[in-house]
């Protein structure tokens, strides 16, 4: 029972979410952690609650020590590129479901 499982989603009502987390760990070497996750979600509403079915499309976590401005710029640039990938996924899903 290990591994990834694909959950069948209704693409006509699916939503694409991107969660980005930036964490500066407060220690002597100024460690930085950048992470983000791209998720495709279907939401089912019940009386007073809701159920979310989702598939993780992409996940990235980067931890850097002794962060400098140029390294930080490269890490943020990588996140921006992957947000563009998420937008491409979203527009492709839109074309498929029309």
**33 neighbors 61 (Cβ within 8 angstroms):** yes
Model pLDDT for residues 25-48, shown as the tens digit of each residue: 665 666 667 777 888 899 888 888
Q: Check whether 3 has a pLDDT greater than 70.
A: yes
- The Cβ of residue 96 has, within 10 Å, a number of other Cβ atoms equal to 9
pTM (2 d.p.): 0.63
- pLDDT at position 71, please? 66
What is the pLDDT, as a whole number, of residue 29?
A: 62
Residue 21, Cβ density class (10 Å: 0-12 exposed, 13-18 middle, ≥19 buried) = exposed
What is the predicted pLDDT for the residue at 36? 79
Residue spans per domain, the chain: 15-97
Q: What is the pLDDT of residues 50-59, one digit of tens each?
A: 888 888 888 8
Q: Are 11 and 95 in contact (CB under 8 A)?
A: no
């Amino acid at each position: 029972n290990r591994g990834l499982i694909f959950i069948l989603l209704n693409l006509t009502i699916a939503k694409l979410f991107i969660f980005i987390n930036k964490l500066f760990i407060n220690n002597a070497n100024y460690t930085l952690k950048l992470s983000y996750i791209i998720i495709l979600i279907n939401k089912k509403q019940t009386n007073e609650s809701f159920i979310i079915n989702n598939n993780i499309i992409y996940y990235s976590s980067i931890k850097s020590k002794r962060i400098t401005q140029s390294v930080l710029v490269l890490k943020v640039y990588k996140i921006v590129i992957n947000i563009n990938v998420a937008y491409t996924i979203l527009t492709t899903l839109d074309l498929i479901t029309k």
